[in-house]
Amino acid sequence: MKTIDELLADGVSGKRVFVRADLNVPLADGTITDDGRIRAVLPTIKALADAGAKVVVASHLGRPKGAPDPAFSLLPAAERLGELLGAPVAFAQDTVGPAAHDAVDGLQPGQVAVIENLRFNPGETAKDDAERGEFADRLAALADVYVGDGFGAVHRKHASVYDLPARLPHYAGHLIANEVGVLKKLTEDVKRPYVVALGGAKVSDKLAVIDQLLGKADRLLVGGGMAYTFLKAKGYEVGISLLQEDQVPAVTEYLERAEKQGVELVLPVDVVVSREFPDLKTKAPTENTVVDADKIPADQEGLDIGPKTRELYASKLADAATVFWNGPMGVFEHPDYAEGTKAVAQALVDSDGFSVVGGGDSAAAVRTLGFDENAFGHISTGGGASLEYLEGKTLPGLAALED
């Protein structure tokens, strides 16, 4: 995989460089609530602009249905990028149409343009190779060189991620090179003890990575909504907690495998429960209690790990040489149920080991809860991509850059 360093060494002044970024930021009423992904790609964009390239930035945002939708416009991300760069950023209101060509044609060396949400064109996500290829051809007309730096999208076989690199000289940006280097530390010659903390809503999203990690990790800590399927597999009452009943057999098998393979699979010993899900907009105080994990009332749901579990998980993370954390321990968006996620984050900060926060909600939680990002070894920009890499899958966007 050739990197941007090689591209810069060869010289890019005056060249149109297409940067496939991941500007898929969370928005609330058109306002960005977490600009972490924009800041993550800044080093690549700035390096190219400083070297005199005409930088064309492209990304997806959300899941529009292959047609323009104002709710998913990249304009707020383009404006924030300009603020962070301290320079004007042109914005094209289409992807490969007249506006995109005008914006790119108007660039001077060192300037940056952002084209509209790639998913406004059905060719970006098409299953049909020819349809994707046609869109990739039109994107290629906007550039001379391709730089892949949208790590959060490299597990997608999309036109701008997979097909476009084949049509242009291609390089990995600083972010992707860094992400891959970090993930290799979790898969090759891992320093031990190696502890993995998994949370989030659905256990089905994590089954494949659990399958892989049972042969690699020394300890596996489970929290979040997915924990209740594990507790159900142990025969516990889980009330109205989030439960994937159809996954209980698979989870039961993993519990048995962990015991046979000598992997510590640690589940909550107590949980914070309530009769109703909290209002995440008003964040109004709720009525809740702490109960043992095997005593969840039938009419209540678990919304966070309890204080004994927080202490237990912190102790299991304390001596770790390598930690991978993906998924919050509870409904961290509400202050009544943020303590579990906060405890895990603090344990990583306190640990002397190399810690990786695996993107998505975990990365958002770190910032939302006020932690210094520099206190962690690495905060990934791609939760799904990180998990699939750890599962041992071939990621289309990385494969395209390796050719």
133 is in an annotated binding site: no
Interhelix angle 360-368/36-50, nearest 10 degrees? 100
Annotated catalytic residue: which of 37, 138, 219, 342?
37
Distances from the Cα of 161 to the Cα of 7, 22, 153, 171, 381, angstroms = 19, 11, 7, 12, 16
Active site residue 37: yes
Looking at this protein, which amino acid is placed at residue 65?
A: K
334 is in an annotated binding site: no
Cβ-Cβ contacts under 8 Å for 37 (sequence gap 6 or more) = 21, 22, 23, 24, 25, 152, 381
DSSP string, 148-159: E--GGGTTS--I
Distances from the Cα of 315 to the Cα of 213, 224, 311, 319, 329, angstroms = 20, 18, 6, 8, 16
167 is in an annotated binding site: no
Overall size of the chain counted in residues: 403
| Residue burial 62-79, b: 16+ Cβ < 10 Å; e: rest | eebeeeeeeebbbebbbe
Annotated catalytic residue: which of 39, 185, 202, 308?
202
62 is in an annotated binding site: yes
257 is in an annotated binding site: no
61 is in an annotated binding site: yes
373 is in an annotated binding site: no
60 is in an annotated binding site: yes
241 is in an annotated binding site: no
Annotated catalytic residue: which of 223, 360, 382, 383?
360
390 is in an annotated binding site: no
24 is in an annotated binding site: yes
Annotated catalytic residue: which of 224, 383, 384, 397?
384
* Residue 78 contacts residue 89 (beta carbons within 8 Å): yes
231 is in an annotated binding site: no
285/336 Cα distance (integer angstroms): 7
Active site residue 202: yes
- Binding residues for substrate are 22-24, 37, 60-63, 119, 156
Report the catalytic residues.
Answer: 37, 202, 360, 384
- Binding residues are 22-24, 37, 60-63, 119, 156, 206, 302, 333, 359-362
- Binding residues for ATP are 206, 302, 333, 359-362
- Binding residues for (2R)-3-phosphoglycerate are 37, 119, 156
